[in-house]
Chain A
Amino acid sequence: MIEINNLTKSFGKNLIWKDVSFQIEDGETLAVIGKSGCGKSVLLKHLNALMYPDSGDVIIDGQCVFDLNYSELRLMRQRFGILFQGGALFDSINTFENIAFPLRYFTKKTEGEIKKEVEEALDMVNLKEAGNKATSELSGGMRKRVGLARAIILKPDYLLYDEPTSGLDPQTSDEINELIVSMADSFDLTSIVITHDMHSVLSIAEKVAFLDSQKLSWFGTIDEMKKSEHPPLVEFTTASEYKIKA
Chain B
Amino acid sequence: MEALKQLGQYTLLLYQALRSVTEFSTYRENLFNEFVKIGYQSIPIIILVGTFTGAVLTLQTAYQLDTDLYPAYIVGSIVAQSVIIELAAVISGLVLAGKVGARISTELGTMRVSEQIDALESMGFNSVAFLVLPRIFAGVLMFPILYIIASTLGIIGGVVAGAADGILPAAEFMKGGRLFFFPEDVVFGILKSFVFGFVITSISCFKGYFAYGGAEGVGNATTQATVLSCIYILLADFVLAAILL
Using CB atoms and an 8 Å cutoff, list the residues of chain A in contact with chain B.
45, 48, 50, 70, 74-78, 80, 82, 84-86, 88-91, 101-102, 105-106, 154
Q: Note all chain A residues with C-beta closer than 8 A to B119.
A: 82, 84, 88, 90
In which size bucket is the chain B interface?
A: 10 to 19
Within 8 A of A (CB), among B194-232: none
Supply 15 A–B pairs (Cβ within 8 Å), ascending by A.
Answer: A48-B122, A50-B118, A74-B124, A80-B122, A82-B119, A86-B114, A86-B115, A88-B115, A88-B116, A88-B119, A90-B119, A105-B26, A105-B123, A106-B123, A106-B124
User: Which chain A positions have C-beta within 8 A of B26?
Assistant: 105
Q: Please determine whether B123 and A90 come into contact, CB atoms closer than 8 angstroms.
A: no
Q: B residues within 8 A CB of A101?
A: 123
Q: Is B125 an interface residue (CB 8 A)?
A: yes
**Is A74's CB under 8 angstroms from B126's CB?**
yes
**B115 and A85: CB pair below 8 A?**
yes
Interface membership of B66, Cβ < 8 A:
no
**Contact call B124/A77, Cβ cutoff below 8 A:** yes
- The minimal Cβ–Cβ distance linking A60 to chain B, given in whole angstroms, is 14
Contact of B124 among A75, A84, A90 (CB under 8 A): A75
From residue B119, how far is it (CB to closest CB) to chain A in Å? 4
CB pair A77 B122 closer than 8 Å: yes
Q: Tell me the nearest residue of chain B to A147, going by C-beta.
A: B119
User: Which B residues are closer than 8 A to A by beta carbons?
Assistant: 26, 114-116, 118-119, 121-126
Contact residue among B114, B122, B125, B126 (Cβ-Cβ distance under 8 Å from A82): B122
Contact of A50 (CB < 8 Å), options: B114, B116, B121, B126: B121
CA distance in complex: A57, B113 (Å): 27
Contact residues in B for A85 (Cβ distance below 8 Å): 115
Shortest Cβ distance from residue A7 to the other chain B in the assembled complex, whole angstroms: 18
Smallest Cβ distance from B78 to chain A, in angstroms? 46
User: Among the listed A45, A77, A86, A91, which residue makes an inter-chain contact with B123, where contact means beta carbons less than 8 Å apart?
Assistant: A77
- List of A residues within 8 angstroms of B126 by Cβ: 70, 74
Q: How far is the CA of A75 from the CA of B122 in the complex (A)?
A: 10
Bound Cα distance from A2 to B176, whole angstroms: 76
For B114, B123, B125, which residue has the most chain A Cβ atoms within 10 angstroms? B123
Q: Which residues of A contact B121 (CB under 8 A)?
A: 50, 77
Q: Which single residue of chain B is at the shortest CB-CB distance from A84?
A: B115
Q: Point out the residues of chain B lying under 8 angstroms from A90, CB to CB.
A: 116, 119
A80→B124 CA distance, assembly (Å): 9
Q: Given A77-B122, A84-B119, A88-B114, list of 10 further CB < 8 A pairs? A: A77-B121, A80-B122, A82-B119, A88-B118, A89-B116, A90-B119, A91-B116, A102-B123, A105-B125, A154-B123
- Closest Cβ neighbor of A98 among chain B residues: B119
**In the docked arrangement, what's the CA distance between A142 and B122, Å?**
21
**Once the chains are docked, how many angstroms separate the CA of A90 from the CA of B118?**
11
- The residues of B that contact A154 with a CB separation of less than 8 Å are 123
Q: A85-B115, A88-B115 are in contact. Are A50 and B122 (CB under 8 A)?
A: yes
